[in-house]
Amino acid sequence: MKVVTAEIMQKLDRRTIEEAGIPGIVLMENAGRGAVGEMLKSYPEVLKGNVAIIAGRGNNGGDGFVIARYLMNRGVNVKLFLLAVKEKVRGDARSNLDILLKMKASITEIKDLKAWKAHVAELEGCDLIVDAIFGTGLRSEIKGLIKDAINELNHLKIPKVAVDLPSGLNANTGEVLGVCVKADLTITF
């Protein structure tokens, strides 16, 4: 296995898109579908349970939106918590969010700490939590709402799966940027 920095991975993604002509949304689709396959190998019981997906507004969140769709199509009860307002989601992630909106997915916008506190109890009935907040692009310390949300997630005795890497971890150094999701499984494609 080869290990690359976050910057090299971003260059490889760009090269795949520009030179090979594979659209970014296809890469997102493949990542989400692959993540669901790996998730179900480790946690097959979620097919009969409840899954919470905690998503950011970027491409890692977009991977989470694809994961939500694939799980919903398999009959899983999915609750998506978007740690942003829908209007801030752009690009390929927005396209996948729009699909979920058309599917009438359970999507809760978490705009501030008050909204998070109002909905965090809903996580306690879940069998699995998917961390799709931040991916390899995170460079600065996590603060505010997302820091508080991650701290609360870490106290829940529910298995957590991270997409790409646990949110809060610097992809190059492994340094925790303020706080980090304590994932039981990390899946990357």
pLDDT reported for residue 8 = 87
Q: Where are the domains of the chain?
A: 6-187
pLDDT reported for residue 3 = 80
**Which pLDDT band holds residue 9 (cuts at 50, 70, 90)?**
confident
Right CATH number for 6-187 from 3.50.20.10, 3.40.50.10260, 3.40.30.10, 1.10.10.60? 3.40.50.10260
What does the pLDDT average to over 27-43?
97
CA atoms lying within 13 Å on the CB side of residue 14: 6
Contact 179, 151 (CB under 8 A): yes
Residue 27 has pLDDT above 90, yes or no: yes
> What predicted TM-score, i.e. pTM, was given to this entire model?
0.95
Contact 165, 66 (CB under 8 A): no
Q: Which residues contact 2 (CB under 8 A, 6 or more apart)?
A: none
What does the pLDDT average to over 181-187?
98
